[in-house]
Amino acid sequence: MSEHNLISISNIKKYYQVGSVVVKALKGVDLKINKNEYVAIMGPSGSGKSTLMNILGCLDTPTDGTYILNGTDVSKLTDDRLAEIRNKEIGFVFQTFNLLPRYTALDNVMLPLIYAGVPKHERIEMAKRALENVGLADRMEHKPNELSGGQRQRVAVARALVNSPSIILADEPTGNLDSKTSVDIMNLFEDIYEQGNTIILVTHEEDIARHARRIIRLLDGMIESDEINPNPTLHQNVVIEEQ
Ligand code: ADP
Ligand code: MG
């Protein structure tokens, strides 16, 4: 029953009309994801990963099929309603961090709480806790250009988590990081997973995907395989040199 799944997607199709051509980006995808799963989505360029993530993250709606998120059918909502659900249910982590350069780490993390209408004194407390949770208690007043790449991504993870969303969606979260810093961020994702969160990440790197407990491969707009990872990579030791 769909009530038991955090995500229940049935026969989702997404078609884009480009001039007179119809691009079939997703051709009938079925997917169920439970609370506290850790899923990696892989697949070659053009296979539909971003299209699927956009739908999962309530940034877009499917052309056909249904998407039940946390008990709500979000497949045919208006943009306003979709944005409401997105702000409540989804935390995004992007390859490029997407932090506001003029804002401190604390202000960046508080942004989703402003959209959610949380009173100021609570916002500050929640954002501080989120930054402490990602190990940045001593960097709250720093601006993005005063932080390392790994620290910036930690701020982005804190921002994604600050209003306790149902799902963390991460699109190539280590794509702009060197290999040591990538390990550091994947350790952080492991902590977040162990805290009970649900994580879905897109990556083209097998080493990154191996951290997930389940690996889904897309090919040409369809699920090619959907397998449990029998031997996930857990915490790895890494020494990050800080300036
Ligand atoms: P991936 O993220 O796996 O590289 P995408 O989901 O971005 O794949 O793209 C899947 C297919 O849909 C591709 O053929 C791509 O060209 C097409 N596509 C993606 N977004 C759009 C769009 N906004 N308009 C038209 N075609 C699109
Ligand atoms: Mg993509």
d(CA 33, CA 124): 32
Q: Which of 42, 51, 61, 218 to mutate to test the pocket of ligand 1 (most atoms within 8 A of CB)?
A: 51
* CATH code, domain with 168: 3.40.50.300
| Phi, psi (deg, nearest 5) at residue 18 | -120, 100
How far apart are the CA of 109 and the centre of ligand 2, in A? 25
Say what the pLDDT of residue 242 is.
60
Cβ 158 vs Cβ 127: under 8 Å: yes
Average of per-residue pLDDT across 218-241: 92
**Residue 204 pLDDT exceeds 50:** yes
Tell me which residue range forms the domain holding 174.
37-47+78-228
Q: Is 235 a domain residue?
A: no
Ligand nearest to the CA of 27: 1
Please give the structure tokens belonging to residue 119: 């009173």
Percentage above 70 pLDDT, the chain? 98
Asked if residue 151 is part of any domain, the answer here is yes
Give whole-number Cα distances, 67 to 13, 140, 158, 181, 215, in Å. Answer: 11, 37, 27, 35, 20
Note whether residue 172 is domain-resident: yes
Q: Is residue 188 within 8 Å of 154, Cβ to Cβ?
A: yes
CA separation for the pair 8, 33 (Å, rounded): 7
Q: At residue 25, what is the residue type?
A: A
Q: Looking at residue 83, what is its pLDDT?
A: 93
- Kindly state whether residue 3 falls inside one of the protein's structural domains: no
- Residue 26 in domain: no
| Ligand 1 center to 13 CA (angstroms) | 13
Q: Tens digit of pLDDT for each residue in 150-184?
A: 999 999 999 999 999 999 999 999 999 999 999 99
Q: Name the closest-CA residue to atom 16, ligand 1.
A: 46
Strands 199-202 and 38-42, by their bridges, are parallel
* pTM, to two decimals: 0.94
- Could you read off the pLDDT of 42-79 as tens digits, one per residue? 999 999 999 999 999 999 999 999 999 999 999 999 99
Distance CA(243)–CA(234), nearest Å, equals: 27
How close is the Cα of 111 to the center of ligand 1, in Å?
A: 29
- Domain assignment present for residue 147? The answer is yes
Asked if residue 24 is part of any domain, the answer here is: no
Number of domains in the chain: 1
Q: What CA–CA distance (Å, rounded) separates 212 from 198?
A: 11
Q: Is residue 28 part of a domain?
A: no
β partners of residue 23: 16
User: Which atom of ligand 1 lies nearest, measured to the CA of 54?
Assistant: 6
Q: Which of 23, 45, 63, 169 to mutate to test the pocket of ligand 1 (most atoms within 8 A of CB)?
A: 23
Angle (deg, nearest 10), helices 149-161 and 105-115: 20
pLDDT band at 2 (very low <50, low <70, confident <90, very high): very low
